Chains A and B, each alone.
Chain A
Amino acid sequence: MENMEKVKAFGAAIARAKEELRRDLVGQEEVVDNVLVAIVAGGNVLLEGVPGVGKTRLVRSLGRVLSLPFSRIQFTPDLMPADITGTEVIAKDADGNMKNEFREGPVFANLVLADEINRATPKTQSALLEAMQEHKVTVAGKSYALAEPFFVLATENPIEQDGTYPLPEAQMDRFMFKLLMRFPTVAELLDIVKMTRYTLEETAEAVMDGKTILEMRALSREVPVLDEVLDYAARLVAGTHPELDAATPTAKKYLKYGASPRAVQALVSAARVRALMEGRFNVSFEDINALALPVLRHRVKINYTAVSDKLSVDDVVAMLLKEIKK
């Protein structure tokens, strides 16, 4: 059966990708799983973690595993938009005539690592908006399509706040997931030390390419979703808006504003991929619940009441999940 073969190929590709990533990254299984979900679903990912937990390494290994053109942009305060998107330069053609020529920036790759994205100015950060959402770049009034599949994996450091520029909400909304990379356990630290005795280089090998990813994405879109599950996802997102009637008591008490409609899209499309990765052919409530934190934590903002009650965003989202009936 053709579909069954596709599904088997999907599962095998994911399993191999995880295996290869595990060669370079110790622990962080949930982050790896969710990054793969976002890649297949076509979403961008914001990785947050203290220095040294493997954010950049994960993205570099991912670039190897996916065998896609990979570029890394180190965001700094003096980084300019043109440094990302590219710019037009005056160049001579074969006949020696001068003409304007567009030089592509580092965003013209399938996998873009925006390292320490919050160190660049909002103007520069915003240069990625069009690329992340529409997968194209407009320079000097001319649009240039980016190659598919296209992903932005950004990292940020939560503890160094001096000289950083918080990402604007519009840009945050473009990230399908915000994943938190926790500090490794002692056992994982030991594994990391052992691994670096031999090499600091990534050793993961390519197991899939862009075409495979696009096929996997197309397959995931065929996963059926119950109306009740869709309704649950919609109520969950609407429930984060304290100003709406649908808001839960927790949202009214602890949230300043809620998630955008992109959150529902992200939840459902990511849930489809997760279901397939779990070997299922339908989306369940459990898929929505499992993905609620990475999808919502960067899209909602807690208020001072939550801060004074020592609640994090994750705590509030977990409370929301308990309040929404299936």
Chain B
Amino acid sequence: MSETFLRIKKSAGREALYKSLALGLAVAMLLCGLLLLLNKLALPLPLPLLLIPGLLAGTAVFSVSYLLLKKSDKRLARHLDRTYHLNEAVETMIAFRDAEGELLPLQRQQAEEALRALPPPKSPLKRFWRSAAALLVSAAVLIGAVALPTKSAEEPSEDTPFAISSFQLGALRQLIDEVKATEAMTPSARVEITAELERLYTTLQSVTTQFRMKSEVIATIVSVDMLIENVNTFKLLAVALDEGMHDDAKALAASLIALNGIGFGEDLVPLREHYRGAEATIALGALATDLTASLTAVVEEYARLAQDPLYLGLSQFAADLSAAAADQSGNENTVSALVDKAFAEAGDDVGCELSTQYANKTICLRVVDKLAEIFHIPEAEIPPLLVNTVPTLSTDQSGEGDEEDENENAGGYGEGNELFGSNDTIYHPFGENGAAHVPYGDAYGYYHRRIEDLLQYGNLDETTKQQLIDYFARLSDGSKG
């Protein structure tokens, strides 16, 4: 075969390789760059997803390009003939390279001379400028993507300045007034929440960074949440009643946990029907005994419950039932009247207190919601709220009661049956799609870290600090237990 043709073929092969490599590399860099841009600007992607598509696409483009650009002898001969108008001399030489004929040697010689007379190849700049341009463009995209700072979804740095606006101050003041005007909630809780919000109002006026602002607002949210959780006793009492042996005590527990206020009286109606007739006194005695035992046990464990209106209402109910059971008149009507009175008073007193605790919870959620709105606190940064936690009772039909038992065995953060002492999933009011469930363990960890920050850097008064320290100390003891 013609030496000149072989030389040209080798050169063309190299050119095809270089161009294909450049193209493949350009595609790989471009795709990686675009994915990196996407990663930084919109959609976070894992590292393999940033690299693998680009590498695969680059390899594929290189392979296809090399197959297309690399010319066979025949294709190269045709290319030369067409490009340099050689009248098919080279193609004929290649096609008849193994043939014999009178004129074939002359034909080969002629083709060889034509190839030798070809103009020298263009400069590399002219031949490879497209490849170089593609490489440069894709490299620019990649470098730009690498250099682009990552769009941070995190909270502003500590240096981000903050100055509370008059609008925020006005909105906060409006919230304070709203809380003050809420008659339905527990007075002590209203006073404490108002004080907490006033403290925030004052503090934020001197805060100069976003970080501090958020810390203060979240501390307030945690504080309000804990205040209400301490004031609202329906969960503790529901759990206590649920531990009793009597089915109606468990039904009362379910009604308490539902926190449906004056609806509590309606819940008692079907229970009342269980205590009619001659045997009513015996049954009443059993229920009264069970209620009394449960309430006595819980007040021994939580002494603060001794003055709790809800506890007192329930205790009074147990005492009234006990009195009815102990009636010695032998008159069924008398007993029935006593029982009716006991149930009616319980419906009023306990239902009234449940309404108050419901108002406490509502105000707590309202405060959290408004603070988040006023100070643009992302939902993800608000810790799970204790007021949204719901203990699982044995009367639940979902079967979660069994799981609750297992969880108890697994240990918790509190003592006994305190609701925060379990690993139950707790309700988060600001989650995506309106609600989310967060494992209590996670919530506790988050709380703890926040409280540590607050205690170290926050502008809290000594009383609040001490309350926080005591509260988490108690939780920690529970977890160790």
**A interface residues (Cβ-Cβ under 8 A, vs B):** 3-4, 6-7, 219, 222-229, 280-286
Contacts and interface: CB of A to CB of B under 8 A. Distances in A.
Residue with the highest number of chain A CB atoms closer than 10 Å, among B87, B99, B104: B87
B111 to A, nearest CB: 8
Nearest to B104: A224
A282 B105 contact: no
9 contacts: A4-B106, A224-B101, A226-B88, A227-B95, A281-B92, A281-B107, A282-B107, A283-B88, A285-B88
A248 to B, nearest CB: 22
B3 interface: no
A222 B106 CA distance: 11
B87 A284 contact: yes
Contact of B92 (A3, A282, A286): A282
Given A226-B92, A228-B88, A282-B110, 9 more contacts: A6-B102, A219-B103, A222-B101, A225-B92, A228-B91, A281-B89, A282-B92, A282-B107, A283-B88
Contacts of A6: 102
A226 B95 contact: yes
A216 B88 CA distance: 22
A227 B92 CA distance: 9
A281 B103 contact: yes
B457 interface: no
Contacts of A7: 103, 106
A222 B102 contact: yes
Interface in B176-226: none
Interface residues of B, number: 18
Given A227-B95, A280-B110, A281-B110, A222 B88 contact: no
B471 interface: no
B329 to A, nearest CB: 118
Interface in B414-442: none
Which 4 interchain pairs have the tightest Cβ spacing? A281-B107, A284-B87, A282-B92, A222-B102
A224 B96 contact: yes
Residue with the highest number of chain B CB atoms closer than 10 Å, among A229, A280, A284: A280
A215 to B, nearest CB: 12
Contacts of A3: 102-103, 105-106
Contacts of B88: 226, 228-229, 282-285
A272 B287 CA distance: 122
Contacts of A223: 103
Contacts of A226: 88, 91-92, 95
A127 to B, nearest CB: 38
A283 B88 CA distance: 7
A229 B92 CA distance: 10
Interface in B53-103: 87-89, 91-93, 95-96, 99, 101-103
Contacts of A229: 88
A281 B106 contact: yes
Nearest to A280: B87
Residue with the highest number of chain A CB atoms closer than 10 Å, among B93, B102, B107, B111: B102
Contacts of A285: 87-88
Nearest to B89: A282
B102 A219 contact: yes
A258 B341 CA distance: 119
A7 B96 CA distance: 19
Nearest to B82: A326
Given A224-B96, A224-B107, A227-B95, A280 B89 contact: yes
Contacts of B96: 224
B3 to A, nearest CB: 19
A224 B92 contact: yes
Interface in B100-121: 101-107, 110-111
Nearest to B87: A284
A283 B96 CA distance: 13
A219 to B, nearest CB: 7
